[in-house]
Amino acid sequence: MPHTPLSHRRRRRVLRPVPLAVVGALVATATVALPHLVPDASAATTLRGYADGRGVRIGAAVGDSPLTSDSSYTTVLDREFNSVTAENAMKWDAVEPSRGSFNWAAADRLVAHAAAHNQGVRGHTLVWYAQLPSWLKNGNFSASELNTILKSHIDTEVGRYKGKVYAWDVVNEAFNEDGSMRSSLWQDKLGTGYIANALTWAHAADPNARLYINDYNIEADNAKSDALYALARQLLAQGVPLHGIGFQAHFEVGKLPASMKANLQRFSDLGLEVSVTELDVRIPLPASAAELAQQSTDFKTASENCLGVPRCAGITLWGVTDKYSWVPGTFSGYGAALPYNESYAAKPAYTGLSNGLNPNA
């Protein structure tokens, strides 16, 4: 999709008729190739079909390993999602494991895959406290050296994917739960000014990319989202190129915050895009039928909470299938957090999400 405002894209979509022969071919291809995965798999009723119809993104975080080794995975990915995010491949430790020695292989693979399947790419992530290479973490650099290193990282990575990444999570997880700034290599050595600098450098490297601050536990109206709101207002007042806020949305079943939609709305009211960037809904294992039903409701509500806000650009899930989800490795005893199970059967959550995306459901 072009990097035009959503309203423009919507308008163009309405004006450009799709030849019936093409529609027929798309429907036929999807139905023939995938009848066993989703009973009604016509192009129009996939997640991406509904999202395309609304001019928004439905995305998934993609691991390099399943991308290169599991054809069931890519079948679902390409049928259902019009956007991809590298789960790890664009992080600093992955792209520059030793100073000045780059490894773009996995990131390039994802970008090429996306281009081949008409998917946009969300870039994740440029400035984070975690997954830093040890040469950087342990380098004991001065503030001035660190500033130069950060600028060079942003120039190099954003420059490499200029025109191929429609949005970047420029700054990830910069806040503590109480709204104070999280201690990190960046915060401790450079102060909060690193955020404005990172956004400014990223904008210079790709003026068309939408630039985000991304965080977790900011879906509710709380101390952390209040602090981010204050920072976002300040950055906008200073003319810093901040375009969007990414709400990661790592939820536990049945615990979506009641204030989520109003909270996204207040950021949208600042003129910012809002996106759900890492949605999953973990369940204590084994998941009961009631919990799977509640999870379905949660996926529907989470997507509606974003899409009901004027500047919602889309929703990205942190994975496709429970088979590769990060959840069990981090939250002991929890899992089953995504709309597809480990055998690629669509769970009730798939229907919930689909209904959340389908304006006529």
**278 is a catalytic site residue:** yes
Rama region for 319: left / alpha / beta (φ>0; ψ in -120 to 50; rest): left
CB 248 → ligand G3I: shortest distance, Å?
5
Question: Which residue sits closest to ligand G3I, CB atoms considered?
Answer: 326
Output the smallest distance, CB 77 to ligand G3I, in A.
16
Let me know how long the chain is: 361
Report the residue number, 141 or 326, with the smaller CB distance to ligand G3I: 326
Q: CB pairs under 8 A, 24+ apart, for 99-108?
A: 99/133, 99/135, 99/136, 99/139, 102/156, 104/160, 106/64, 107/161
**Angstrom distance (rounded) from CA 49 to CA 37:** 16
**CA distance linking residue 256 with residue 346, whole number of Å:** 22
Closest CA to 157 of 200, 87, 108: 108
Residue 172 or 187 with smaller CB distance to ligand G3I: 172
Residues binding ligand G3I (CB under 6 A):
87-88, 130-131, 172, 248, 278, 326
Contacts of 130 (CB under 8 A, 6+ apart): 173
What whole-number distance in Å separates Cα of residue 101 and Cα of residue 42? Answer: 45
By beta-carbon proximity to ligand G3I, the closer residue of 319 and 356 is: 319
Q: Which is nearer to ligand G3I, 11 or 99 (CB)?
A: 99
Q: What's the closest the beta carbon of residue 167 comes to ligand G3I, in angstroms?
A: 15
Reduced to 3 states (helix: H, G, I; strand: E, B; else coil), residue 35 is coil
Min dist CB 356 to ligand G3I, Å, is 22
From the list 96, 278, 291, 304, the catalytic residue is 278
Which residues carry out catalysis? 278
